[in-house]
Amino acid sequence: LARVQEMLMRDPLENELRLISTIIPRLEGWCTVEKAQWLAKTVFEQQALEIVEIGVFGARSFIPLAMGLRALLHATGKRGYLTGIDPWNKAAWADEKPEPQHERANKKWWDTIDLERVYRSAITAISNAGLDEFCELIRDRAANVHGYFLDIDLLHIDGHHSEAASC
């Protein structure tokens, strides 16, 4: 953690982008290193201080958002916060119907995944990256926390990938 803080003092965003390329491939999920770096840059360039991500899974896109926020906080001295929302619960996913052409593959995959392990690994990865002081995970469906936020500068929707759920 001390090495990470020392690197941040020199060039906050550039150092976070380098860290992303080593951290992201080890996490569960589907976010590419290129997208992860783009997310961090977007947070920094747009000066997004209040960020929400719907659909965290293994934190593969959550951590880059947090790293972009950390770079921004170090560069500006401002305060900000990142909240991730995900139920990490098979029952929640079972209630959401995937597109018909994907239903069988989705069911097979979700039946084999240990969401409790994925949740614990996400928490560990966030903590190991030194990001937990300005990050929060809410273990619930996004629909259940709609009144939780007053202002959001950046919303990243990466949950249940169907047209019905995202509209």
pTM, 2 dp: 0.87
CA-CA distance, 98 to 162, in Å (whole number)? 6
Q: pLDDT tens for residues 106-145?
A: 677 778 899 999 999 999 999 999 999 999 999 999 989 9
Model pLDDT for residues 3-40, shown as the tens digit of each residue: 655 555 568 899 999 999 999 999 999 999 999 999 99
Do 58 and 25 meet the contact criterion of CB atoms below 8 Å apart?
Answer: no
Residue 57: C-alpha distances to residues 18, 35, 71, 159 (Å): 22, 16, 23, 9
Q: Exposed, middle or buried, 163 (CB in 10 Å: 0-12/13-18/19+)?
A: exposed
- How far is Cα 156 from Cα 26, in angstroms, rounded to an integer? 21
Question: What are the tens digits of pLDDT across the range 48-64?
Answer: 999 999 999 999 999 99
Asked if 125 contacts 96 with a C-beta cutoff of 8 angstroms, the reply is: no
Residue 78, by phi and psi: left (phi above 0), alpha (psi -120 to 50) or beta? beta
Q: Which residue has the tokens 């803080």?
A: 5
